[in-house]
Structure 1
Amino acid sequence: MAKSNARKQREKMAREGKRNPDQNRSIFAFADMRQRVTKTKAEKLHQRKHRRSLSWNSDDDLFLFVA
């Protein structure tokens, strides 16, 4: 496989002691972003089922503690 002109320039800069532009790249440039997993239908239903807070289901009792 042939080397691109950009790769040749990067290698030349590294040989001359200059900073290699590969080192300027973010760590996310090499991350494989295809590993995402979407939620299943059951997970989506479970998320919607428990959306409301617990206080909605509980009784509206009021406790007053006097010391």
Structure 2
Amino acid sequence: MAKSSARKQREKWAREGKRNPELNRSIFAFADMKQRVTKTKTEKLHQNKHKRSLSYHRDDDLFYLFRSAS
């Protein structure tokens, strides 16, 4: 690939002993600054993965006691 004119200028300044402008860049210049948006449908579905389902509690719903007439 060809060098851009800005890159050529930076290299020229570095050869002349001047400060390279690349060194002035922030540490966040190359960081991934994307922000997450709302959850996708699959993320919503898997959100309750480790919670117990309703069928787990159905055993305690109703008790019926039969009393014999003796």
1:25 aligns with 2:31: no
Q: Give me the identity figure in percent.
A: 81
The CA deviation at 1:30 is: 1.1
Normalising to structure 1: TM-score of the pair? Answer: 0.51
1:13 aligns with 2:24: no
User: Counterparts of 1:17 and 1:29 in 2: how far apart (Å)?
Assistant: 24
The ranges of structure 1 where at least 4 consecutive aligned residues each deviate by more than 6 angstroms after the TM superposition are none
Normalising to structure 2: TM-score of the pair? Answer: 0.49
The CA deviation at 1:18 is: 0.3
Provide structure 1 residue ranges, at least 5 long, that are not aligned to the other structure.
Answer: 44-67
Match of 2:2 in 1: 2
Larger radius of gyration: 2
The CA deviation at 1:32 is: 2.4
Instruction: Considering fraction of residues, name the structure with more helix.
Output: 1
CA RMSD of aligned residues (A): 2.6
User: Counterparts of 1:17 and 1:25 in 2: how far apart (Å)?
Assistant: 18
